[in-house]
Amino acid sequence: MTAVEPADPRHPFPSGWYMAARSAELAPGAVAERAFLGEQVVMFRTEAGEPAVASAYCPHLGANLARGGEVVGESLRCPFHSLRWATDGRCVGSEYPGDPGYGVQLPTYPTVERFGFTFAWHASDCSEPTFDIPDLDLDGWTDMIVTTIPIAAHVETIHENGVDAVHFGIVHGFGLSGTAYEDRGTSFHSEFHFATPNFLREGPSEITTFFDTDTFGMGYARSLNTAEAVGLRYHVLLLPTPTTAGHLDFTIATTVQRPADGDRIAGVPVDEVADFMHRGAVGGVRQDVPIWEGLRYVDHPRLVKGDGPIPRFRHWASQFAPAVSAAGG
C-alpha cells in the first residue's frame, strides 16, 4: 500500500479542565512536575494552602522550577537565581541585592479544586475558562479509590467510548437498554441501563444498574450508577489528562455511597463493595485499552444501524478544539 494514511485531524489538546494532581498529594509546601497537554508544568501549594499550576520553566533563564524550586510563604522560589513566583505568575521578590523589581510573568494555569482533585484549565490560546467543574457532595461516601493508567490514545477516543453503545456488549459483555443522549452545551449527558448477575450476597439473581453520565469537556466525565434492587449507588469518575501528543494518563476514581443504616450493602461490607466496584471500573477500562491504542481514527465513519450517536458526540466535542490559528495549524 503506497497511499499516505491520513493523519488524525483532531487537535491533540482540546481546551478544558484537566486533572493535574490529587489534592492530597499536593500538600502545603509540596512541589511536583508533570507533562500536561504538551507542556511541562510545575505544581505547588503555598504555605497558606493555595494550589498553583505553572510552566515548569522560569522565564528568567529557563531553570526547571520543579527541580530544586522551593515554596517560600505564598510563592515558589527558583533554584537558579532566587526569583520568587506567586500563584498568579507575578514575580514577588528575590535575593538579588536590593531585590530589584522584575516585571516578567511566569505563565500560570487557572486552577480549581473539586472532590479531592486539582484541575487546571488548558487553552492553547490562553483564553479563560468557559465552564465550571461542578463539585460533588461526598459526605457519607467511601474514600475515593484511584488508579491511573498511561494510555497511548487521543482524549476524545476515551469519551467517545461512552456513547459507543454497541461495544458495551461486544467488548464488556453487557448489552445496554434505555439509552438516551443529550447535548447540554459544554457538557454531554448520556444514560442507559444494563443487567448483570447479582455480584452481592442478597437480593435478586440479576440486577439492573442505571448509568447516568455527564461529560464536562474532555478532561472529566462522571457516572452516577444506581442498582436500586440492592441499594447500591456509586460514582465512577473518568479523568483522562493528555501528557504529550497521542498519550494520556487515565485516572479512574470510584466511591460508593454508604448505606444510611449499617455497614453492608446487600450483605457485603461496604468497603469490600467499594473495592469490587473499583476493580470492575478499572477492569472495564483495561478491556478497552488495546482497542484504543491500536485504532486509527476514522474521520467520516460509515455507521451501522444501532451504533450510538457518534456524529452528535463528535460535533459536541469539536467545540473544545482550539482555533487553527491559535494552535499554529
Residues at the interface with ligand FES (CB under 6 A): 58, 60-63, 78, 80-81, 83
User: Looking at this protein, which amino acid is placed at residue 176?
Assistant: L
Q: Find the shortest distance in angstroms from Cβ 171 to Fe ion.
A: 6
Q: Find the shortest distance in angstroms from Cβ 304 to Fe ion.
A: 17
Cell reading at 307: 451504533
Q: Find the shortest distance in angstroms from Cβ 236 to ligand FES.
A: 41
Per-residue DSSP letters for 192-253?
EEEEEE--SSSS-SEEEEEEEEEEETTTEEEEEEEEGGGTEEEEEEEEEEE-STT-EEEEEE
Find the residue with minimal CB distance to Fe ion. 288
Nearer to Fe ion, 161 or 215 (CB): 161
What span, in angstroms and rounded, lies between the C-alpha atoms of 244 and 36? 7
Q: Find the shortest distance in angstroms from Cβ 78 to ligand FES.
A: 3
When CB distances are held under 5 to 8 angstroms depending on the partner's kind, the choice from ligand FES, Fe ion, none that residue 71 binds is none
Nearer to Fe ion, 69 or 162 (CB): 162
Contacts of 250 (CB under 8 A, 6+ apart): 148, 149, 150, 151, 158, 238, 239, 240, 241, 285
Three-state DSSP class for residue 268: strand
Q: Find the shortest distance in angstroms from Cβ 28 to ligand FES.
A: 22
Nearer to ligand FES, 82 or 208 (CB): 82
Q: What is the DSSP-derived secondary structure letter of residue 185?
A: T
Point out which residues pair with 232 in neighbouring strands. 227
Q: Find the shortest distance in angstroms from Cβ 57 to Fe ion.
A: 37
Nearer to ligand FES, 56 or 58 (CB): 58
When CB distances are held under 5 to 8 angstroms depending on the partner's kind, the choice from ligand FES, Fe ion, none that residue 58 binds is ligand FES
Across 261-291, b (16+ Cβ under 10 Å) vs e yields eeebbbebebeebbebbbebbbebbeebeee
When CB distances are held under 5 to 8 angstroms depending on the partner's kind, the choice from ligand FES, Fe ion, none that residue 161 binds is Fe ion
What span, in angstroms and rounded, lies between the C-alpha atoms of 54 and 85? 10
Q: Find the shortest distance in angstroms from Cβ 288 to Fe ion.
A: 4
When CB distances are held under 5 to 8 angstroms depending on the partner's kind, the choice from Fe ion, ligand FES, none that residue 288 binds is Fe ion
User: Would you say 23 and 223 are in contact if contact means Cβ atoms under 8 Å apart?
Assistant: no
Strand-by-strand arrangement of the 187-197 sheet: 145-151, 248-256, 232-242, 220-227, 206-216, 187-197, 176-184
Per this entry, what is the length of the chain?
329
Nearer to ligand FES, 39 or 160 (CB): 39
Nearer to ligand FES, 29 or 62 (CB): 62
When CB distances are held under 5 to 8 angstroms depending on the partner's kind, the choice from Fe ion, ligand FES, none that residue 236 binds is none
Tell me which residues touch Fe ion (CB under 5 A): 161, 288
When CB distances are held under 5 to 8 angstroms depending on the partner's kind, the choice from Fe ion, ligand FES, none that residue 60 binds is ligand FES
Nearer to ligand FES, 83 or 165 (CB): 83
When CB distances are held under 5 to 8 angstroms depending on the partner's kind, the choice from Fe ion, ligand FES, none that residue 264 binds is none
